[in-house]
A and B are shown apart, each in its own frame.
Chain A
Amino acid sequence: MMPVVSAHGLSQRYGAVAALDDISVSVPAGQMVGLLGPDGVGKSTLLDLIAGARVLQQGRLSVLGGDMRDAAHRRHVGPRIAYMPQGLGKNLYHALSVAENLEFFANLFALNAQERRSQIARLTRATGLHPFLDRPAGKLSGGMKQKLGLCCALLHEPDLLILDEPTTGVDPLSRRQFWRLIASIRAGRPHMSVLVSTAYMEEAEGFDWLVAMDAGRILDSGSPSDLKTRTGTGDLESAFVRLLPEDKRRNGTGLVIPPLTAAAGPPAITARGLTRRFGDFTAVDEVSFDIRKGEIFGFLGSNGCGKTTTMKMLTGLLPMSAGQAHLFGRPVDAADLRARKRVGFMSQAFSLYGELTVRQNLDLHARLFELPRDRARERIATLVARFGLAPHLDLVSGDLPLGLRQRLSLAVAVLHAPEVLILDEPTSGVDPVARDAFWDLLVDLSRGDGVTIFISTHFMNEAMRCDRISLMHAGRVLVVGPPQELAAASPSGTVEESFVRHIEEAISNGGAGPPAADAPPQIAPDLAPNPAPDPAPDPAPDPTAGPAPDPAAAPTPLTDPTPLTDPTALTAAAPPTVRPPIRFSPRRMAAISLREWREVRRDPIRLAFAFLGSIFLTVIFSLGISMDVEDISLAALDFDQSPESREYLSSYYGSRTFSEQPPLLTRDDLITRMAAGDVAAAIEIPPGFGRDLKQGRSVTVSTWLDGANTTRAGTVEAYVSGAHLAALQDRSRRAGLDPDDLAVYEAHSRYRYNPSFESIRAIAPAVPAILLMMFPAILMAISVAREKEIGTITNFYVTPTSRAEFLIGKQIPYVLIAVLNTISLSAVVTLELGTAMKGSPAALVLGAFLYGAAVTSYGLLISSITRTQVSAIFAAAILSMMPTTQFSGMVQPISTLEGAGQWIGQLWPASYFMHLSVGTYTKGLSFAQLLPDMMALAAFTPVFLIPAILLLRKQGK
């Protein structure tokens, strides 16, 4: 049989790190293939390459019979591959409901409406997601997210299903359900190949074929029994360790935990009736426990059952809604800084500073915990040695593999020698070897230093290492006790069994908390068992694979004899017709638009900011940006003090333009008061002004203007000149001469479009152009950058979606928003101006559409050259702020700008929409007259969009 994947000499380097180092492997088709190995050995990179999500650097890779370098082949096989990247719900859209997520993926793969409905119904019934179709994906438990991810991947009936650590961070019950689901799917689709990477060796026991990896290389491959035979070991965990190079094996096979010597004194941690509510949702419900000093207390429970919330309350991060918690007999008080020094906390995610090196992180924390310098040096040296960080001291911690990062986090958490350590799933996603090393440290801290450890975990073998564990479900503690006792009480003698039973019991009692998102779904309860199972051959692995000898290890999920899922549910429907891939599919684009629109709608705050915010800004800008000058502060330095000088000055003060300030006494006075900004203009009348005038001599007065603000000085100058002329005319009139009679011509100024010459008539219609440039562009840029940051961009990489479909699809909702925003702002402007729009409203709406398209294309261009949301915001705001506010003609017509400003203004879309908007409102222009603006606006879209499409990569790097 032809291998489904064959690789020759694959190498992939990132900086100095070789993620894959000359890998050659052939993966047999139609099998369940496992990819094993510690974290950071290149498993995800390899899977990314196989799925086509990354650009191949070196070597040859053929998947489903074609070269993955070939874009045409990728496009062709794309619909036959399904990829679920690592991370709970990583490729899901959390704001969208279960049904909407499924619909989106169905549309991407061009299922027709009927296929879509039947596939969604089948898959959700089979996975037990059917009752939760309307729940947002973000509110599902981890296990349910993974099931939804699986449904999304299976909708189009792929031939190759790639799952990257699908059960990491998932509780045992959900994990068990997940593998059962996979088994039944394979039963229904025997020719489908499944490629899985996993950190759980017990899961790997059930696979058909395994590839063991380390440090970017393949150690060995073959069936589990092959590997075990070859290494002469009884279980995969030991087999894997045996395959590792000598220096990487752990010395000593097992972990020895000395018994806990009962410490005297009060418990380290006590909780009584601890409760936390978020709105009407009770996350933690009356939780009580005592943890003795030096004890390792394990906290188990499904995702989202309230473990993290409980831990946060104990650290004071979250205030409790009810109940009490004590640390060392003192109530937990968030404000008590001294108590914080006694506690070390390590949260689920890596929460150190990724941009700092290992050494810098340790140093910083030593400083913050106020360790004296010599003690800090000594402590850091000890920890570096003990945690094996020495070779990595000067590496940037964000680049370290997960296992190392977790070790560093722990080192930081114990740096100040706390008496209590609170660790929230510290080993999630860490490979077995690194996990054992981590536990060595924990045991040492507990038994050696007497540190009380409160730890949450999903690993049952870790649970067995605790002194006591508690099982939590839906905000309640179900049971507390030593793990061995709990295990013994269950029929199969495993903690996992005990765990699953307690939860199932709690669910069937129904009273255990609200049927919240964290309730594990019951598998297909609504499916009647089919009496005549599908006669498809059963490719499932040997269902009698022996149970692991360690009671901690779970029975391999695939061996579960009770098929909860009806296999026919997964095979009954006719497989959707496979359509040849199309380069540009309006349907896929529509699917992307619909999804984007739904996501936007789910964030009403963002929409409200955009709409109400722009209305608010329109109002204040159109009122506030005004060139109308009144009340120019004017003072006189009158050296003459004659009736003539007073008469001259009174002509100035007579108008509303100037406001009379107390007279100036000396030149120094003038200088001081002008420097203080008290007077904008000062008129100096020379001595003898009146006398000279009477004697018929020409006289000169001088005016000083505050020239600091050049624009304003120009305006003031014009007003002063005007007032001076008026003063002279007044004088002539008093002398009995009508100045008009002396004029030889008349000049009539007609202020067109704005006869009353008010700023607001020109500014108000211009403001929407500014706001519509900024808001949609930034929203657009963030929307793409966000996909890159949270990882949903993978859906674009691995589905047949083309670059144009992706970008234009995302763009459409924002163009629509821009048009709606224009209409709402138009209403505001119309209200403010108090007159109806004089020109063509159709031109304004069409212009808004073209402008919206141009502006969002600009946002897309920005997003295609930035990687993070922060840089997208920065670039979008900084690069567009100046051209929009300064060079688009709001205050200064573009033709009057100089140099670069004029060029930028002419090449900036805001200029044209501003012209169009002012033309519509104030000039009353018709559609035909505004056509040139619209054409210019239309030209911007391709100018921005085409480079954006070309710069967007269809694969990750």
Chain B
Amino acid sequence: MTSLRHIFWLGTKELRAVLSDAAMVGLILFTFTGMVYMQASSMPENVNNASIAIVDEDNSALTRQIANAFYPPYFQTPDHIGAGEVIPAMDAGRYLFALTFPPHFEAQIRRGHRPEILIDIDATAVMQAGLGDGYIQTIIAAEITRFLTGTDTGTDTGTETGTAPTVTNEIRRAYNPNGEMSWFNAITGILDFLNLVIIMLTGAALVREREHGTIEHLMVMPLRAAEIVLAKVWANGVIILAAFGISMTFVVEGWLAVPVAGSRGLLLFGAMLYIFAASSIGILLGTIARTMSQFALLVLLVVMPMMLLSGGTSPVESQPEMLRFFTNLLPSRHYISFAQAVVFRGAGIDIVWPDFLRILGLGTLFLLASLAAFRKSLSAAG
């Protein structure tokens, strides 16, 4: 009881410290509104506005028809270039894709000579290259089929269309039927900023307290290290949880119009657990770092993997086995897992509890580690 009171009153001091800094409050608000919006809305569909060039050595009705089939938003309007320009243009990164139609392409098709279309792909654009290749092939096939069926008698040909009778596969996406990128990116964006801000806020509060000597002042009072630490966790946590709520309500659901399938309460509860875990990491880093510059570097070392390997940027399933074990220790990975389950799939506590448990466990682990390091760092500081 006494401890709880201490934690509460110490926390009010932390709250005052942050809230009295108008610039900081402004920066946090901007981060959770403007920047979340920007990150969510700027990311395109899988293949979007892809640059494409066409080398048309045939210049027939068919090749023109195919060229006209590439249009926004998936592709930019194709540029027509000469055969020799393909390599330099792709070297300079001007085009992701280049199609080359050989001379007499249309005529050869008509004669059944199976002409060859060359598709050059910039394979350094890993996300666009594979998908774009598929899109392009589908478009070409469809156009050639249309061309042939439109003029000739309806021979059903082309690699892709197979033989009669046909089997069609209707592919539908659950939870996000139109595949809107902003939905998932909103969730990732919030995580990225949540993570960065809470870790920096709690850790810097601790480093500053040590640099100013106030930590010693606290340590001669009848306070336990755990109370000091937990006060920082709750106070900064409340601020960020409020920012999270604002961001979810006004930016994600309001501005970006992302539908939330699951329970908002559950999402908020999960965010709370996550904030606890992340602020424990902040405390741990603040305990280890001797100076502000060391702290800044430590934050980068920890926050960047938390952001980039959480599954928000690239799928966790693609990570090598060894690394997957390591990323399991990142609470952010479990955040992405439960947040997308709750927001999009409408999952309930019966599904997300293992993620919650892992986040809570990791947070506790980090907190205990920082408490162990705390006393040690105090005596070393003398």
Contact = CB atoms under 8 A, between A and B. Distances in A.
B56 to A, nearest CB: 15
A337 B124 contact: no
A752 B122 contact: yes
A722 interface: yes
B46 interface: yes
Contacts of A877: 196, 200, 296, 299-300, 303
A882 B31 CA distance: 10
Interface in B332-347: 337, 340-341, 343-347
A64 B166 CA distance: 98
Interface in B120-141: 120-131, 133-134, 137-138, 140
Interface stretch (B249-257, B265-273, B287-295): B287-295
B174 A368 contact: no
B61 interface: no
Contact of A343 (B12, B24, B220, B346): B220
A276 B380 CA distance: 12
Contacts of B47: 714, 896
A617 B131 contact: no
Contact of B109 (A283, A720, A745, A761): A745
Interface string A850-894: 000000000000000000011101111110011001110001110
Interface string A15-41: 000000000000000000000000000
B172 A702 contact: yes
Interface residues of A, number: 159
B204 interface: yes
A364 B214 CA distance: 14
A775 to B, nearest CB: 6
Given A708-B184, A711-B181, A743-B114, A351 B326 contact: no
Q: What is the interface residue range for chain B against chain A?
A: 35 or more
B165 A697 contact: yes
Interface string A109-135: 000000000000000000000000000
A885 B313 contact: yes
A900 B42 contact: yes
Given A347-B213, A711-B127, A340 B222 contact: yes
B200 A755 contact: no
B20 A355 contact: yes
Contact of B326 (A620, A746, A893): A620
B29 to A, nearest CB: 12
A878 B38 contact: no
Contacts of B305: 617, 620-621, 624
Contact of A891 (B126, B220, B303): B126
A878 B179 CA distance: 28
B162 to A, nearest CB: 4
A762 interface: yes
A799 B112 CA distance: 85
Contacts of B320: 623-624
Contacts of B90: 752
A145 B82 CA distance: 73
Contacts of A919: 91, 93
Contact of B130 (A702, A757, A882, A904): A757
A900 B182 CA distance: 14
Contacts of B9: 364, 367-368
Interface in A685-739: 692-693, 696-715, 717-718, 720-722, 724-725, 727-729, 731-732, 735, 737, 739
Given A627-B314, A714-B45, A745-B109, A762 B123 contact: yes
A747 interface: yes
Nearest to A366: B9
Given A605-B294, A735-B163, A753-B124, A340 B220 contact: yes
Contacts of B222: 337-338, 340-341, 368-370
A881 B200 CA distance: 13
Interface string B128-169: 111101100110100010001000000001111011111111
Contact of A923 (B124, B296, B340): B124
Contacts of A771: 304
A918 B124 contact: yes
A356 B16 contact: yes
A922 B90 CA distance: 12
B323 interface: yes
B329 interface: no
Nearest to B105: A745
A349 interface: yes
B76 to A, nearest CB: 8
B43 A707 contact: no
Closest 7 CB pairs of A and B: A901-B42, A707-B173, A714-B46, A754-B123, A707-B176, A708-B344, A351-B217
Given A624-B314, A778-B296, A882-B35, 8 more contacts: A368-B9, A704-B172, A708-B344, A715-B131, A735-B163, A742-B157, A745-B116, A896-B50
19 contacts: A354-B212, A355-B16, A360-B13, A605-B290, A606-B291, A624-B327, A648-B167, A676-B351, A699-B166, A705-B174, A706-B345, A707-B179, A708-B184, A721-B138, A724-B167, A761-B123, A869-B292, A882-B35, A896-B47
